[in-house]
Chains A and B, each alone.
Chain A
Amino acid sequence: MKKKIQNIIENFGLPRIIIFLFLVLLFILTPFVGIRFDTSINDIIVRFGMNGILVLSLIPMVKTGCGLNFGLQLGIIAGILGAVISIEMEMIGFTGFFTAIGIAIFFAVIFGFLYGLLLNKVKGDEMVVATYVGFSSVSFMSIMWLMLPFKSPNMIWAYGGSGLRTTINTKGYWFHVLTDFLKIKIGNYIFFPSGTILFFAFLTFLVWAFFKTKIGTAMIVVGSNTDYANSCGINVDKMRSISVILSTVIAAIGIIVYQESFGFIQLYTAPLFMAFPAVAALLLGGATVGKASIKNVIIGVFLFQSILTMTPSVVSNIIKSDMSETIRIILSNGMIVYALTRITRVRT
């Protein structure tokens, strides 16, 4: 029995168990601190839809052994480009939403291609290089947002100065087009954002299906065992590049869905640290540096977003001050440090 428990802890990971127990505690506490249970659930579902695709975008790169994509910001930048260009073009509703995605994919493929080239040159050090590629591209784009000749009055500063605003409202363009699509209302407090969830499910299906094809299979082989892949005649670098492009494209779509649901496009330094919560969510779902599945994405996003939703309300009610930011920092970064120190090699 004791051994069995030890085994479970070993497999599941101590931090994950602690977080899970913490979450259970939060749920138990909700009624006692006077928070509506149903609104909390609703928040969690909405946030799940908002963030799910960003986390999903990490999967291809982990599968080919490129590690956790700390350069997620490249995809986000492509997404933002798509979003602001579609608004500049005055595209509204679903047309606007899909135009944004189309343009975003275009940029994401280019960025992903270059990013992939770089990551193939630095095998073994992908993660640290990716982190700083992400940071520097965000800060480079900050300059660009100031300088690019956007004209739409809804996006540039009202009082004359050049450059885009720090946040751009998607209301009037494609705000909640997905969220409100087939939306189901349950009572006064709960609604189910069917459109967002369906879209997430659709992309998840595409990713799953992709790994059933010849190329997808080859990518799994590369990630499982590079030597084996070589001996099968698989072009390892090419497969890695494809996975990087794929990850970047999905991230670009992910941020547009996020903006659609959130209501704002955040520019400048806002995307700087967006990679970490996504990575933390995936790890929380049971992934490791070398192994991740769609199951990990769904469990991870659910757990992570639950905690982010519940802690501020519950904890603030207990200690009368907002600890949520601190808890978020400890939780997400602690999860990543933990994963990095657990050296799991595919080969034994």
Chain B
Amino acid sequence: MESKEKYLLRMEHVSKDFYGTKVLKNINISVKSGEIIGLVGENGAGKSTLMNILFGNPIIHETGGFEGKIIFDGKEVNFASPFDAINAGIGMVHQEFIFIPGFTAIENILLNKEPTRYSFFSEIFGDKLNVLNREEMKKRAIEAIKILGIELNPEIIVKEMPVGHKQFIEIAREIDRKLLKLLVLDEPTAVLTESEADIAMKAIKKLAAKGVSVIFISHRLQEILDSCDRIIVLKDGSVQKELIPSDTNPREVAEYMIGHELTKSIWKSKEIRKISETILEVNNLWVDMPGEQVNGASFKVNKGEIFGIGGLTGQGKLGIANGIMGLHPAEGEVKFKGKPIFLNNSKYVLEQGIAFVSEDRRGLGLILDQPIFKNITFTAMQIKDMFLKSLLGGLIKWSDDKAMFKITREYIDALQIKCESEKQLVRELSGGNQQKLCMAKVFVLQPELIFVSEPTRGIDVGAKSLVLDTLCEYNRKYGITIIMASSELVELRAICERIAIVDEGRISGILPPTAELVEFGLLMLGIKSKKRETIGK
């Protein structure tokens, strides 16, 4: 019993399900005062759900709360909102910046917790009419910055600061809280240079030395190994393993994170086809897609193959297709069939015979309030002048509804799209059928190469295999080259001939589907092993 008293935070038997799907199973985690815990896990392993529970995020309560209990600072807690968690002494630094760009560093560090001076009017109208105490604000900001150990002028407007410094503002804001006992950092170093990341890690250690516990979420395994006291590996909603950095190595962590395999391979095909002709060559591609930036990716895709792109969420695997398709600003050199293609021009790229099944089905893949037949034919009409009748000697291009219906019926049959009629609104279809529709829309264009992003996200198991089978079928039957980006390693390894892993916006390696699972994990965690064999460079 006594030993438990040392722990600042204990999460006991925590479980959580969303609409019947168990996302957390009997989690037990304890954090000592002044301890730095590294939290590692694949996407969907349950990291963010766990943190949402800790913070009392409303989404947890709206979906029926959680099982188990949380004991923080000796008391059982169940925070109703993040503000309660903050008041209890838990702070969080998010991956995306949360601050006011037009304010000074001081104002941002003390956002909505500004010290005030008494003013007469507050007697009548309440505390809100007390005057800010600017000197006190400055003093406290400087103190917080000092703990961080960086050179930063607190009077400067955050907008004008070097980007790397902006992350520190948020950390400083948490440090400033006098009762801060536990700090959660979610990928805090993602936007920092190496030297800045070093400073940040040093600051975190300093904080821990003062007795503040830290939960550190990062995919940079080396950072975790270097600075954490303990590593907790989450997998599929349970704690897979607790490790001590000095007793382990990257390979072991990656193995726990990504799991062992029972069978050697799930590769569906019998042999790897020998294809040598290059169809797409990408050199030093930069894409400015929010949350999925690509930072100089280079790779080649062979004609007629299914090429996979994997990696953790936010590392840029989705940015590649979106960039080449002209949906987000891109720079770099892309050659299609040996010919350089212009970037940032969707129409041009589509005309070359490249098409895209977007991950954002409901957003830019479909028009939900339009019927099925229009969704399937819109793009082809605009790009290839299909489904149009010429009237008055070509002066008027009139939409040919009959031809639209015909082709729509063909695809409804071919892809087994479940719907009442071709005139049904897309909004009313299930996720799986919407996905098939997105594919039909692309097949109508008769492309030579298609990008497919997250084709099975959010659809049921039956539809999943049908979608993947359809992709394979069109690849084999019509020789369409497919570049598929997915968070699911299983499906990548099931149908792709080569799989590139993206880490921090670059290709960290390309592996055959038969490669050991842990190899993929190491690439995702940014560990470059010399022994690793990569193919097709």
Contacts and interface: CB of A to CB of B under 8 A. Distances in A.
Direct contact of A and B (CB under 8 A): yes
B529 interface: no
Q: Count chain A CB atoms within 10 A of each CB in B325, B351, B366, B368 and give the residue with the most.
A: B368
A326 interface: no
B362 A228 contact: no
Given A218-B382, A233-B346, A233-B347, A224 B370 contact: yes
Contact of B364 (A213, A214, A225, A348): A225
Nearest to B364: A227
Given A214-B397, A217-B399, A225-B367, A233 B385 contact: no
B365 interface: yes
B398 A231 contact: no
A347 B367 CA distance: 8
Contact of A214 (B326, B348, B367, B385): B385
B327 A230 contact: yes
A217 B382 CA distance: 9
Contacts of B381: 214, 217
| Interface class of chain B by DSSP | mixed
Interface in B353-412: 356, 358, 360, 362-370, 378-379, 381-383, 385, 388, 396-399
A225 B378 CA distance: 12
Contacts of A232: 346, 350, 378-379, 382-383
Interface in B268-283: none
Given A227-B364, A228-B367, A221 B378 contact: yes
Contacts of A233: 326, 345-351, 379, 382-383
A234 B365 CA distance: 14
A167 to B, nearest CB: 40
B327 A214 contact: no
B399 A231 contact: no
A36 interface: no
Interface string A202-221: 00000000001111011011
B397 A228 contact: no
B370 A213 contact: no
Contact of B363 (A212, A213, A218, A227): A227
Contacts of A221: 367, 378, 382
A228 B351 CA distance: 16
Contacts of B362: 347-348
- Most chain B CB neighbours (cut-off 10 Å) among A212, A214, A228: A228
Contact of A231 (B348, B351, B364, B385): B364
A97 B370 CA distance: 40
Given A212-B398, A218-B382, A228 B364 contact: yes
Contact of A224 (B325, B369, B388, B399): B369
Contacts of B367: 221, 224-225, 228
A214 B383 CA distance: 10
Contacts of A8: none
A227 B326 CA distance: 11
A235 to B, nearest CB: 7
B346 A214 contact: no
A35 interface: no
Contacts of B385: 214
Contacts of B379: 231-233
A231 B369 contact: no
B208 to A, nearest CB: 44
A346 interface: yes
A228 B378 CA distance: 10
A236 B346 CA distance: 12
B388 A214 contact: yes
A228 B366 contact: yes
B363 A230 contact: no
A235 B382 CA distance: 10
Contacts of A215: 397
Contacts of A220: 370
Nearest to B360: A227
Nearest to B345: A233
Contacts of B326: 230, 233
Contacts of A213: 396-399
Given A213-B398, A224-B369, A346-B369, A231 B382 contact: no
A231 B383 CA distance: 11
A202 B107 CA distance: 62
Nearest to B347: A233
Contacts of B325: 231
Which 9 pairs across A and B sit closest by C-beta, in order of nearness? Answer: A233-B347, A227-B364, A214-B397, A233-B346, A232-B379, A224-B367, A233-B350, A225-B367, A231-B364
Interface of A: 212-215, 217-218, 220-221, 224-225, 227-228, 230-235, 346-348
Given A217-B378, A225-B363, A347-B362, 7 more contacts: A220-B370, A221-B367, A230-B346, A231-B346, A232-B383, A233-B379, A233-B382
